[in-house]
Structure 1
Amino acid sequence: MAWLTIIVCLSLFVSSDGVLDDLPNLYGVAANLGCNQFLKLIEDAGMADNLNGTGPMTVFAPTNKAILSLPPDVLARLSSDKDLLKAVLSYHFTTDVFNSTTYVNEMLIPSEQGANIRINAYPQPQPIVITASGAQIIVKNIQAKNGILQVISKVMFPLPNGTIFELVTNDLHLSTLFLTIVKANLGWALSTGPPLTLLAPSDDAFSKLPAGTLTTLLNDIPKLKDLLLFHVIGGSYYSAGFVNNTSVTALNKGTLNIQISSGNIFVNDAMVTTADVSVTNGVVHYIDKVLIPPSFYH
């Protein structure tokens, strides 16, 4: 029914010769597509003029379900902190006109908030899945008088703030991972260069290792590096890029098997506990176990 509503709404703006005519502005397009929760946040933040301006701009509008699915504490923070709300909403706007038919994987689009929106394209399953900072674009390229609207599957939050290594450094739940990265001298690699995906074991995950294992690793740097690079994938693999019963290759050349069950993502025998944490040089997924390279068993 929702899709029928979208088709009917779009038909209102198409003349008999198929040319888009008398288009509403971005606010009107969002309203016609039923993005009511997004517009409510826009009104609460006093940002309606952003969607009613002359443009051109591209707006990434989360669905109602995406906004209502935010954790209660996040919704409460957005409701009570107008500056944070404005920052989050501004991250969903760009003065670049982005059309998903001309995407380039890993392209960066500067947002009005200041941080870049990362565009990714994943070829499996068909058709190609296109994401904006991990949020799948589910209704593409809706033309408005002052720009283009892209409807996305989730709110792009938290905002990317710092590199992979900076995230690890500042997260008290990743203190053991931080120690191992520093010991292996991999901080620079996780701060520069091409985009990466880090599968980040929590402190609790490291505590599950057999007694003495961590000490042994800290005294064997080549082996420690091998283990850490088994947790890193080249490129930005948001959860939308993981496909059930497939595999990806880690930077140590090891194979990571992906399983998706009941909405949970498993990488080998580790479960992703928090997915899609955007950073300036890729994405981080928190996992509940340390991944052990097969070479360790030989």
Structure 2
Amino acid sequence: MTAMRKMPNVEKFSQLMSLHSMDRRHLDRFFETPPDALTLLVPLDEGFREADNFTASELRRVVEILRGHTSPLLLYHMLPRRWYLHHLYHNQQLRTLYRDTSVTVTKLSNKMVLFNCVPVQRVDIHARDGVLHVLQRPLPPSYVLSLVDLISMDPDLTMFFTVLGYADLLGWLRSVDSITVMAPTNAAFKRLPLRFLDSITYDVKYFPALQALSRNHLMEGVECSLGLRAKVRVKTLEGITLPVACSSSFNLSLNSALVTKPDVVTSNGVLHYIDKVMIPPRAMSLVQVTRRAGATKFIELVKEVGLFDDLVSFGPYTVFAPSNEAFKKLNASFLSNKDALRNLVMYHLAVGSHASFTLLDNQVLPTLLQDTFLRLKVHARVMSAEDGVVTSSDHVAFNGYVHVVDRVLHPPVSSIARVLSRDPNLRRFTSLVTQSGIALWRELSLEKGPFTLFAVPDDDMDRWASDLFTYYRIINDEKLLNRSLSAHILDDFVMPRALEEGSHSVLRPRLKRPSHHRYPLRLTVSEGRLSLRHASISKNFVLCTNGIILFIDTLLLP
């Protein structure tokens, strides 16, 4: 191309072409049908001095090639046919004259054009037999290595290569045409807890999390550092949107991971070295997810009682983590008892991985604390575990789920019958229960259930008993008494804190005998007041090992 010989600052590339006799007469051997015109990507002379070591070594090899043999690097700067600026689009692949290799076009929002991440200084220089584009520097010989080749050969990326291998993504990376890889260095991986990395890498049940971690470092297409600087956020193959930032000193970072070495172009994509592993939610441990959910004080407690590694590496568990606000109500003296604290933490860890949409009303989950369970209430918009209302749910981790509750949960220690026998303010109601027969008392003493018992405190019982006719009629009629008490016991677990304002619930009292008729109880919540038929329900309650005791102000009549 005679137009190139007249241009200043491109003498070196012109000399290389002359040295290797690169004129139109020698192109026939590269094509069955030689191209009618060429597009030439011409580096500036200054760009040769700024070329990286990899490109410089390839250029030295170019000069050593005997005359009459054509350098791959020179052919890599030539494209068959004319390619003007208006022909080009973002992530376009243009075939070069060197075998089946191609260069990738990047078009930025400011109209700047890059070839393999190398900026174009001048575009559309017309010549009689083609068109020229002037590059800032020579194109890196990306045809030499693929992404997998580069990652496997770099001693600073051995851990990333291992992770990709265990995630079964190396074969896919070899076959893909255009991809961007954000590669954490070995130093970045060493910042992670060793047990977390071992668990997610070598435990087969966490394979989906390992793949999520790997895909979170891959982006579709070729994204050069100049293109990333012009963006506010990018999306990974994992579907996670990462914020992009550029400091005043032009340091590029993605999601707080600093790009330490940008724009390493390969035959099937571009690689950027970063100093931090970008962990997506599906690959985070329960510790990380709980912190992100705002329950930081619970994690401090987990660390204090020695269960930190369990939540980092083992599982799966479902964590019902009390909010930071919930811990303000905890007795300070309780925090000084380490054994009690450990039991408390274990009670908040349910066995298995349970998302909110998989949980059922009245479901019982075993916890890590021996012989203890969490009883769930699931309503249309509210879910509770024991007396804790779930305020934030479904924070997913690779080894389980986190649900934030508004109370610190304490395992109940007494059965319903034991609470009745020990509470001095329930003596009169307890006497009615015992008067109805030993079978009912035995049932309330067993660790079965869960039951809900509507108990009448003595003060309210005294006021109700002022109607002597009704009172003596019930206590002297065994059948009437049993029917009345059957309305006070439900084969259900009613948690008042989980009931929504304005809600109406129809409760079915338990049947002692099949011949008994069940009168439905309508529970309503209006202006914060709970009502059950003609009785009002107190906001106070007692959790028991086999159910819950709610307090009402009058005896329920059949």
Matched position secondary structure for 2:464: coil
Matched position secondary structure for 1:217: helix
Residues 245, 145 of structure 1: CA spacing in aligned structure 2 closer, same or farther, 3 A cutoff?
Answer: closer
Residues 176, 145 of structure 1: CA spacing in aligned structure 2 closer, same or farther, 3 A cutoff?
Answer: same
Q: 1:121 corresponds to which letter in structure 2? A: V
Q: 1:228 corresponds to which letter in structure 2? A: L
Structure 2 counterpart of 1:165, from 393, 397, 417? 417
Higher relative contact order (CA 8 A, sep 6+): 1
Residues 88, 237 of structure 1: CA spacing in aligned structure 2 closer, same or farther, 3 A cutoff?
Answer: same
Counterpart of 1:6? none
1:195-236 deviation per Cα after TM superposition (whole angstroms, max 9, x unaligned): 321122222222222344655533222222222222223311
Instruction: Indicate conservation of the 8 Å contact 2:501/2:526, yes or no.
Output: no
Counterpart of 1:266? 531
Structure 2 counterpart of 1:278, from 543, 553, 557? 543
- Mean Cα deviation higher: 144-153 or 108-117: 144-153
User: Is 1:203 paired with 2:447?
Assistant: no
Q: 2:237 corresponds to which letter in structure 1? A: D
Return the offset for 1:184: 0.7
Structure 1 counterpart of 2:325, from 52, 65, 83? 65
Matched position secondary structure for 2:484: helix
Which whole-Å CA distance do the structure 1 matches of 2:319 and 2:401 have between them? 6
Structure 2 counterpart of 1:179, from 431, 436, 440? 431
Residues 173, 238 of structure 1: CA spacing in aligned structure 2 closer, same or farther, 3 A cutoff?
Answer: same
CA RMSD of aligned residues (A): 3.0
User: Is 1:188 paired with 2:442?
Assistant: yes
Which whole-Å CA distance do the structure 1 matches of 2:483 and 2:501 have between them? 25
Which whole-Å CA distance do the structure 2 matches of 1:66 and 1:262 have between them? 24
Q: 1:32 corresponds to which letter in structure 2? A: R
Counterpart of 1:4? none
Counterpart of 1:3? none
Counterpart of 1:246? 504
Q: 1:265 corresponds to which letter in structure 2? A: L
Matched position secondary structure for 1:143: strand
Q: 2:385 corresponds to which letter in structure 1? A: A
User: Is 1:94 paired with 2:350?
Assistant: yes
Aligned length, in residue pairs = 272
Return the offset for 1:77: 4.3
Return the offset for 1:48: 3.1
Return the offset for 1:264: 4.3
Which whole-Å CA distance do the structure 1 matches of 2:307 and 2:529 have between them? 36
Return the offset for 1:259: 4.0
Structure 1 counterpart of 2:397, from 119, 130, 144? 144
Structure 2 counterpart of 1:237, from 469, 484, 494? 494
Q: 2:444 corresponds to which letter in structure 1? A: L
Structure 1: tracts of 5 or more residues without a match: 1-12
Q: 1:290 corresponds to which letter in structure 2? A: T
Instruction: Indicate conservation of the 8 Å contact 1:230/1:291, yes or no.
Output: no
Q: 1:82 corresponds to which letter in structure 2? A: K
Residues 103, 113 of structure 1: CA spacing in aligned structure 2 closer, same or farther, 3 A cutoff?
Answer: same
Which whole-Å CA distance do the structure 1 matches of 2:428 and 2:337 have between them? 32
Which whole-Å CA distance do the structure 2 matches of 1:148 and 1:66 have between them? 20
Structure 2: tracts of 5 or more residues without a match: 1-212, 217-235, 241-278, 510-516
Identity of aligned residues (%): 24
TM-score where L is the length of structure 1: 0.77
After superposition, where does 1:128-139 map in structure 2 within 5 Å?
129-139=382-392
